[in-house]
Amino acid sequence: MIDKNSTIYIAGHKGMVGSAIWRTLKAKGYDNLIGASSKELDLREQDDVRDFLQEVRPDVIIDAAAKVGGILANNDFPYQFLMENMQIQNNLISEAHNLGVEKFIFLGSSCIYPKLAIQPLKEEYLLTASLESTNEWYALAKITGVKLCQAIRKQFKKDFVSLMPTNLYGIHDNFDLNSSHVLPAMIRKFHEAKENNNASVILWGTGKPMREFLFVDDMAEAVVFALENKLPGYLYNVGTGEDLTIKDLAATIQKTVGHTGDIIWDESKPDGTPRKLMDVSKMHNIGWKHRVNLEEGIQKTYNWFLENIENLKEKTY
């Protein structure tokens, strides 16, 4: 049984998701948390991972570590995105199994589902059709992680479970305009335009595509739910089950930031997938549901952005 004294290793604890899990567990009284930075531990090296886990002897492993990037990076470095992500997760999963770790929580991505799957995306759609070509390398790695956890669960009856989040945003997000996702990029664009006498903001596409967004602290709560309960299935979508148009997202962020200038939609730029919504009924049916609505989450994210803007400026944008 997992309790507040259990040793919990969070791989990727410095990232947006990992740090949210760490923060949430601390707030709930879990004091025996273990983390190691990429400088301290290279998760791609099996011997190093084995030595580290043998030393700390975790009761639980939460895998929030991954090599991530945008469309350009996935397209330019397919080998690294496939190989390094498989190395990271395979080392963690295999050594967890070898050490007798009974609970392993693997975090993936909604990109594991087929490109043209019916909306909303159900867990059973996995491996039923072709993936999106722009990030299939990352998706394939994550699919192997899901299947490894399923295999251990089936063969050895261990509590290895996979959680697939929708688009995440929040505290410690990436606001780099060259590599960030749409929501944090909009926050930065509207803020800088407001500071520049409410200059116009140019956004890509028509604004018609629909997207779903989950505040990262809600994702952390889902991880805690999986930690404190033995989930009956091997794969669960984690999201809000609600989406909105990119145009409505822009209007919400503009209002939160306080920008009063014009929004110009550059329709010469691509829209991307028309809709991407997760079916989260499996999580709802076993007792988990998100708490933070989009407006509140965007406000919390913008507040954090303002508090940390000087540090963010140290990066190259």
Residue 127 belongs to a domain = yes
Residue 159 belongs to a domain = yes
> Does the annotation place 229 within a ligand binding site?
no
- Interval 30-73: pLDDT, tens: 999 999 999 999 999 999 999 999 999 999 999 999 998 777 77
Identify the band that residue 310 occupies on the pLDDT scale cut at 50, 70 and 90: confident
CATH of the domain at 56: 3.40.50.720
Query: Is the pLDDT reported for residue 145 higher than 50?
Result: yes
> Does the annotation place 288 within a ligand binding site?
no
Q: Calculate mean pLDDT across residues 214-235.
A: 98
User: In the prediction, which pLDDT does 76 show?
Assistant: 87
Residue 179 belongs to a domain = no
Rounded to the nearest integer, the mean pLDDT of the chain is 94
User: In the prediction, which pLDDT does 224 show?
Assistant: 98
Residue 308 belongs to a domain = no
Q: Calculate mean pLDDT across residues 241-260.
A: 98
User: In the prediction, which pLDDT does 313 show?
Assistant: 58
Residue 260 belongs to a domain = no
User: In the prediction, which pLDDT does 314 show?
Assistant: 47
| Structural domain of 23 | 8-171+212-243+277-292
Q: Calculate mean pLDDT across residues 107-136.
A: 94
User: In the prediction, which pLDDT does 32 show?
Assistant: 97
> Is 138 considered catalytic here?
yes
* Set 113, 138, 234, 302: catalytic member: 138
User: In the prediction, which pLDDT does 50 show?
Assistant: 98
User: In the prediction, which pLDDT does 284 show?
Assistant: 98
> Does the annotation place 109 within a ligand binding site?
yes
Three-state helix/strand/coil letters over the chain: CCCCCCCEEEECCCCHHHHHHHHHHHHCCCCCEECCCCCCCCCCCHHHHHHHHHHHCCCEEEECCCCCCCHHHHHHCHHHHHHHHHHHHHHHHHHHHHHCCCEEEEECCHHHCCCCCCCCECHHHCCCCCCCHHHHHHHHHHHHHHHHHHHHHHHHCCEEEEEEECEEECCCCCCCCCCCCHHHHHHHHHHHHHHCCCCCEEEECCCCCEECEEEHHHHHHHHHHHHHCCCCCCEEEECCCCCEEHHHHHHHHHHHHCCCCCEEEECCCCCCCCEECECCHHHHHHCCCCCCCHHHHHHHHHHHHHHCHHHHCCCCC
Q: Please give the residue that has the higher pLDDT: either 254 or 310.
A: 254
Give the predicted TM-score (pTM) of the model.
0.94
> Does the annotation place 189 within a ligand binding site?
yes
> Does the annotation place 115 within a ligand binding site?
no
Residue 195 belongs to a domain = no
> Does the annotation place 181 within a ligand binding site?
yes
- Interval 156-200: pLDDT, tens: 999 999 999 999 999 999 998 877 889 999 999 999 999 999 999
- Interval 67-91: pLDDT, tens: 987 777 787 899 999 999 999 999 9
- Domain count along the chain: 1
Residue 303 belongs to a domain = no
